[in-house]
Amino acid sequence: MNAFIDSKLISTILIASIALLSAYFLGLMRTEYNLLDPVNYKQLKLLTIGNVSGYIETSEKKVHSSCIMPGSKDVDFCGSLIVLSNNATKGADFSRYDQLEVDLSLNSPLEKPAIKVTFRNYAKRYAPKNKADAINYTSMVTNNLGNGPKTYPLNYFQVASWWILRNAISIEDAQPDLSNIVHVEILHFETQTEGTYEITINTLKLTGNLLSLTEILMINSCLWIAAIFLLIRRHSRNLNKIATIDTLTKLVNRRGMQQWIDALKIGENKPKVIGLLYIDIDDFKQTNDTFGHKTGDELLTAFCVHVSACLKSLRRAKNSYIFSRMSGDEFVVLFKDLNDLEAKATVQMVLDSLALPLQLKEVKIKVNISVGIAIKTIVSNSVDQLFDCADSAMYKAKKGGKNQFCLYSDEQQNDVMEYKQNTQALRLALEHDQFDLKFMPIFEVSTKKVRNVEVLVRSDHELLDKISTSELIKIAERAMLVQDLDTWVLRNTFIMLNENRNLLEKWGLKFCINVSTLDFQEQNFCDTVRHLLTQYNIPPKWIELEITETALATDISKNLTVMNQIKEMGISIALDDFGTGYTALNHLVRYPVDKIKIDKIFIDALGHEDEDSKVLIEAILSIARSYQLEVSAVGVETSDQYDYLIENGCHFIQGYLYSKPLGLSELSKRLCNQGGFFEEL
């Protein structure tokens, strides 16, 4: 639409520019001023100088003058005087005219009488010093005016040289000036011969253009400058709109929200109470991948329309709140002067309104949201701290079961500070390579030997060195750094394997590397793995990628494509945390999975005589046998757990019962000391 308006504006100006120039050159702008029209003059007089007698008469818009010259050597003149104005400072402006059309009938004793045409400008600036007569004599003398129409350019006219010389007129004032013409004179100029001198003025008019070429060029230039200014202004507004408006939902984005905050002009002398609602759609990715991205976008749009209607129903003052989209399924509502009760009531209203599914074009989808609420008095345009508080409260709502809200309290301050510190520490650790790899031995039950090793990551940063791998990954995921962390683990595992290939080839171990959900959905993930295998010359059979079951619950078609590409490289695949997700059996048989890993929460329950966990573990083992999959149990810490798993046919175990995660040197040492294996279990 904007492009159409811009092109229409440019086309209009272009047409106008061409039309003006065409009208000028085709003569459509020509205009005239008839000096013989009684409407245009005040009076006609016989003008004589010297011992001259004569008369002047008019008939049918013609002027006839007749004079009898004595034939003296003095300067005698005779002719017609056309008075255009009785006010010397309010004459006619002939500046726009460029030609004089004249048709005279002459009678005189001379074969070619000389005729003088003069335009008199009585502007004050033309008064010679110490004299009262202020006249600019713009005149032309020619002996070619007689008998028939003639056309003369006005640039033929010059200021009378005698007047310039006699009065020492400056160059500036010695130029023709037709801007204030009071009198027009047509005289016989050479009258030394005795006789009758007659002039009949049949036509006397000025012609010119309504606009000069210079004026037209100036108008066109002004039009284009104005158009450029309007286009720049329009595009500036459009760019600002693009920069501040989310294209899908039409809500303001983070930049637009910041502009709203800036407009409040918050400062130490003008603090404001700001309430922030941080909204996250629960399990949106699963919904998006199940129904497709088109339906997912439609759901986001419908959700925004729905929430906007709820907010409008509050009937708050205009500009007292702003609804903004932060990222994919995260939204923020900022309020001026919001208290705890109003915030809770607002969120509860939105939650209640979402009790029924949203109707889309083809399906109805139930939307659940988790909302974090933070209210603070702000003394600057930065609301980062308010965001951190609301974000912390939102995550607390998610941990509490989702589809609910949580109001931030000062007791959560430690959580906010810890999260910010850990996030910053993680960024620094990635920048300065402050990570180390640990290796968790995985035992094969049938041989009671170590066959596989799970790669774990630890940080030696002082704020992260006590954090487990699972917690480190959670921090990375929340801070959107998990892909950087996983790439570091992949690369450094391959570097380690390349540097120790002689030792590791002896033991024939397979290294199991965890892959996050975000990594698995990354478009170039397979290319990255393939590049690293080639770069460090790592046999694919040394690598097993562990993918969480919940990661496979979304975008099944894409997951299958990625997993097939991984298998084509020769890398084996393990399904981690099995039993905690939603993998249907028909999907499991389609996935090229080599192994399933039973989650630690089920292993932990075995020590508490949890029959449900036993039934589930037995079911998992039965499924694995049916699909000819290997099974590995995670977190085995007691001999009872170990015995139960062996009795029911589990293939691999790992846990603190026999080994904690080890550094590479300690792992190598224990392998060597045991003749290539750990001691039998």
What HEC string does 266-299 produce?
CECCECEEEEEEEEEECCHHHHHHHHCHHHHHHH
Do 474 and 606 lie in one domain? The reply is yes
Do 264 and 398 lie in one domain? The reply is yes
Do 21 and 84 lie in one domain? The reply is no
CATH at residue 161: 2.60.120.430
Tokens representing 95 are: 């500046």
Classify strands 572-578 and 148-153 as parallel, antiparallel or unpaired.
unpaired
> Phi/psi of residue 474, each to 5°?
-60, -45
Classify strands 405-407 and 369-378 as parallel, antiparallel or unpaired.
parallel
pLDDT computed for residue 157 by the predictor = 84
Does any domain span residue 680? no
Do 59 and 136 lie in one domain? The reply is yes
Note whether 188 and 113 are within 8 A (CB).
yes
Q: Looking at this protein, which amino acid is placed at residue 247?
A: T
Total structural domains within the chain? 4
- Identify the bridge partners of residue 274 per DSSP, sorted by sequence position: 336, 376
Nearest residue to 205 via CA among 30, 27, 35, 31: 35
Chain centre distance of CA 518? 27
pLDDT computed for residue 545 by the predictor = 93
Of 184, 209, 234, the position where a domain reaches its end is 209
The three-state secondary structure class of 530 is helix
Do 78 and 114 lie in one domain? The reply is yes
Do 373 and 454 lie in one domain? The reply is no
Note whether 535 and 509 are within 8 A (CB).
no
Of 408, 435, 466, the position where a domain reaches its end is 408
pLDDT computed for residue 116 by the predictor = 86
DSSP designation for 245: B
Does any domain span residue 414? no
DSSP-based helix, strand, coil % in the chain, nearest 5:
40, 30, 30
CATH at residue 517: 3.20.20.450
Instruction: Tell me how long the chain is.
Output: 681
Helices 639-647, 611-626: axis angle to 10 degrees equals 40
Q: In whole angstroms, what is the distance from residue 235 CA to residue 253 CA? A: 19
Q: How far is CA 191 from each of CA 57, 69, 108, 565, rounded to the nearest angstrom?
A: 21, 7, 9, 113
Note whether 182 and 120 are within 8 A (CB).
yes
Does any domain span residue 413? no
| Burial class of 364 by CB neighbour count within 10 A (0 to 12, 13 to 18, 19+) | exposed
Nearest residue to 35 via CA among 100, 79, 98: 100
Does any domain span residue 561? yes
Nearest residue to 177 via CA among 216, 124, 219, 120: 120
Tokens representing 202 are: 């049949």
- Identify the bridge partners of residue 561 per DSSP, sorted by sequence position: none
Does any domain span residue 203? yes
Do 514 and 395 lie in one domain? The reply is no
Range of the domain at 332: 254-408
Does any domain span residue 681? no
Query: Using only C-alpha atoms, what is the Rg of the chain?
Result: 49
Of 351, 380, 408, the position where a domain reaches its end is 408
Do 39 and 111 lie in one domain? The reply is yes
| DSSP assignment of 118-163 | EEEE--GGGPPTT-S---EEEEEEES--BSEEEEEEGGG-EE-HHH
Do 64 and 153 lie in one domain? The reply is yes
Do 527 and 432 lie in one domain? The reply is yes
CATH at residue 294: 3.30.70.270
**What is the reported pTM?**
0.52
Q: In whole angstroms, what is the distance from residue 634 CA to residue 652 CA? A: 9
Q: Which portions of the chain are predicted below pLDDT 70?
A: 1-6, 75, 124-138, 143, 145-146, 240, 289, 411-414, 517, 520-521, 549-556, 579-589, 607-610, 673-681
The three-state secondary structure class of 665 is helix
Does any domain span residue 416? no
Note whether 634 and 600 are within 8 A (CB).
yes
Does any domain span residue 540? yes
Do 278 and 379 lie in one domain? The reply is yes
Do 386 and 443 lie in one domain? The reply is no
Q: How far is CA 199 from each of CA 79, 150, 175, rounded to the nearest angstrom?
A: 7, 15, 28
